[in-house]
Structure 1
Amino acid sequence: MSLSGVSLQKGCVESFTELKLKKAHKFIIYKLSDDLKEIVVDKAVSAGTYDEFLAELPVDQCRYAVYDFDYTLPDGERNKIVFYTWSPDDAKTRTKMVYSSSKDALRKALQGVAIEIQGTDLDEVAHDTVLERIRR
């Protein structure tokens, strides 16, 4: 239960575990239920590019997401699981407040996230921006 009283639907952690351990998903997008009482899986996508992931983030609605981010270093391929809080400027203020106060309920349940990104526009979640944060 979060500060806002929002709970997690059972499938939220299960989907994340499938992404982390089985590579069953490339990314998962979470949202609040229509009554704003529960965090639910909006969609779990098994394959897709980063651009396809970004295209799934609504321009006027908040979301949470996890993405299995692949990148290359001189010594080989790497990947990190990235947690996103998507809160676009065009989302309703009340919704942004509920998402903000509910984030910890989901974030603390997802063990194995390497980095958190908060985005209000696509520049803040652009591939190169996230890659730069990962490499720090």
Structure 2
Amino acid sequence: MSRSGVTVSSECVTAFEELKLRKSHQYIVYALGNNDTEIVIEAKGEPNERTSETNVLTANYEEFVKVLPPKDCRWIIYDFAYKEGDSEIVKNKIVFISWSPDNAPIRSKMTYSSSKDALRRAFNGVAAEIQGTDSSEVSYEALKDKVAKK
């Protein structure tokens, strides 16, 4: 349970484990449900093609960014695929994204912020955490810079 009294549904953890171990999803979008008392799954993305082509990796990610609500907060677990330098080897890191756009309602920002730790603690194996308030902070290149440093 978080400081805000929000709980994490068991399906949230199960879906995360499936993403992490079976690569069954590319991403999972979490939201507040049940009158803001529980964190639930809002959407799941199909797994990306496992390919070494950078343009495919960035195109898949750009499609994902379009599902982020422009005026409300969310949390996302993303199985982020990238290449370092001239390498043809595709690496994957699990990233936790806290999406809180500038024009989201203050109450939503406060509730999501105070509830984040409950969700984050439920996930073992997250390589990086990103706070995004606009699309530039969650761009493919911004995430790649963050995960490549780990």
Structure-1 residue corresponding to 2:62: 51
Q: Report 1:63-74 matches (<5 A).
A: 63-73=74-84, 74=87
**Identity across the alignment (%):** 48
Amino acid at match of 1:6: V
Amino acid at match of 1:120: T
2:145 counterpart of 1:132: yes
Q: TM-score, normalised by structure 1?
A: 0.96
Structure-2 residue corresponding to 1:122: 135
SS at match of 1:76: coil
Runs of 5+ consecutive residues of structure 2 not aligned to the other structure: 49-59
Q: Report 1:1-136 matches (<5 A).
A: 1-48=1-48, 49-73=60-84, 74=87, 76-136=89-149
Q: Distance in 2 between matches of 1:98 and 1:67?
A: 22
1:34, distance to aligned residue in structure 2 (A): 4.9
Q: Distance in 2 between matches of 1:75 and 1:128?
A: 17
1:51, distance to aligned residue in structure 2 (A): 1.1
Computed over aligned residues only, the root mean square deviation of the Cα atoms, in angstroms, reads 1.1
Larger radius of gyration, structure 1 or 2? Answer: 2
SS at match of 1:70: strand
Amino acid at match of 1:68: D
- Kindly indicate which of the two structures has a greater share of residues assigned to strand: 1
Q: How many residues align?
A: 136
